[in-house]
Amino acid sequence: MTTSSQALITVQNLAFSRGNHVIYDDVSLSIPKGQVTAIMGPSGIGKTTLLKLIGGQLTPDAGQIHFDGVDVHQCSRSDLFKLRKRMSMLFQSGALFTDMNVFDNVAFALREHSGLPEQIIRTIVLMKLEAVGLRGAAQMMPNELSGGMQRRAALARAIALEPELVLYDEPFAGQDPISMGVLVKLIRELSDALNLTSVVVSHDVQEVLSIADYVYVLADKRVVAHGTPQALRLADNPQLQQFISGAPDGPVPFHFPAQDYRKEMLGELD
């Protein structure tokens, strides 16, 4: 684990469950300032849930999550909203407001929180759209954009207020290779240019390993491995290597647990 003195976010002994289904049991990790940290793991492991816990949208059963030293879940609602002005989230679906064009989507948070005059907001929005290559699409509605363009417009909106932290929820899911390449480039370059702390949740292994400074791998309700991308590639952990190589069978079995195949086919089950 990286040193917590440089950490923007620390997660300590986190436990979270939905009903009887335990998602996390004693998870600890830290997200260093100014770096791209990836959180990887199989589908359904609860990676998005972790982002929602960090953003204070969900409350853990046990443990603490600190953002810049402040316990996210002990804040009042107004303090939580103050914290959220310092962070933003890129949702898997983009989550653009469907009744606003791209320009107004990006301008939304600025109009809500900055108090800046409209002329300056216009300049900032055009700069953000230029950064993601969508200045020419400013007047288009979200339903006129491709999936990749929606994700880029949402990214422009996410960095509009120049947050310290950006949480990326499956940014590459469902993207064609060109869009994926554009997003990989944007996430890395924006993080470096704006000195952002980025948390990328994804199971697109190669793309994530190409841009991450540090990686946590979640499985079985806990962190099963962490380290730099180079260290993880060399790690002697069969479960981790199966995940990185994408092997269909291994420690994570191909078959969902079931009763004996032969007996079931012959109708000999009790």
SS3 at position 23: strand
Q: How far is the CB of 121 from other proteins (least distance, A)?
A: 15
Pick the stretch among 15-23, 65-73, 91-99, 226-234 that binds other proteins (CB under 8 A). Answer: 91-99
* Residue burial 169-181, b: 16+ Cβ < 10 Å; e: rest: bbbbeebeeebbe
Using CB under 8 A, which of 91, 122, 227, 252 touches other proteins? 91
How many residues in the shown chain lie near other proteins by CB under 8 A? 21
Structure tokens at 51: 């982002």
Compose the 4-43 pattern: x for residues touching other proteins by CB under 8 A, - for all others: ----------------------------------------
Nearest CB to other proteins, comparing residues 30 and 88: 88
Query: Is 101 a binder of other proteins (CB under 8 A)?
Result: no
Q: Name the one range near other proteins by CB under 8 A: 63-71, 79-87, 132-140, 199-207.
A: 79-87
- The answer to whether 81 contacts other proteins (rule: CB under 8 A) is yes
Q: Stretches 39-47, 96-104, 123-131, 184-192: which one binds other proteins (CB under 8 A)?
A: 96-104
Question: If binding is defined by CB under 8 A, does position 88 make contact with other proteins?
Answer: yes
Question: Using CB under 8 A, which of the segments 63-71, 109-117, 222-230, 234-242 binds other proteins?
Answer: 109-117
User: Which residues between 112 and 131 bind other proteins (CB under 8 A)?
Assistant: 112-113
b/e per residue 38-53 (b: at least 16 CB within 10 A): bbbbeeebbbbbbbbb
Binder among 97, 136, 260, 268 for other proteins (CB under 8 A) = 97
Query: What does the alpha-carbon distance between residue 57 and residue 73 come to, in Å, rounded to a whole number?
Result: 9
Beta-bridge partners for 165: 87, 197
Q: Is residue 202 close enough to count as binding other proteins by CB under 8 A? A: no
Instruction: Report phi then psi at 168, rounded to 5.
Output: -105, 120
**E runs forming strands in the chain:** 7-18, 21-32, 36-40, 62-67, 70-71, 87-90, 165-169, 197-202, 214-219, 222-227
With vertex at residue 16, the alpha carbon angle to CA 60 and CA 33, rounded to the nearest 5 degrees, is 65
What distance in Å separates the CA atoms of residue 123 and residue 130, rounded to the nearest whole number?
A: 10
Query: In the window 48-77, what residues touch other proteins (CB under 8 A)?
Result: 52, 55, 57
84 belongs to the binding site for other proteins (CB under 8 A): yes
By CB under 8 A, tell whether 98 contacts other proteins: yes
> Minimum distance between the CB of residue 213 and other proteins, rounded to whole angstroms?
23
Q: Are 236 and 223 in contact (CB under 8 A)?
A: no
Q: Is residue 82 close enough to count as binding other proteins by CB under 8 A?
A: yes
Closest Cα to residue 136, out of 112, 120, 118, 152?
152
Contacts with other proteins, residue ranges (CB under 8 A): 52, 55, 57, 81-82, 84-85, 87-89, 91-93, 95-98, 108-109, 112-113
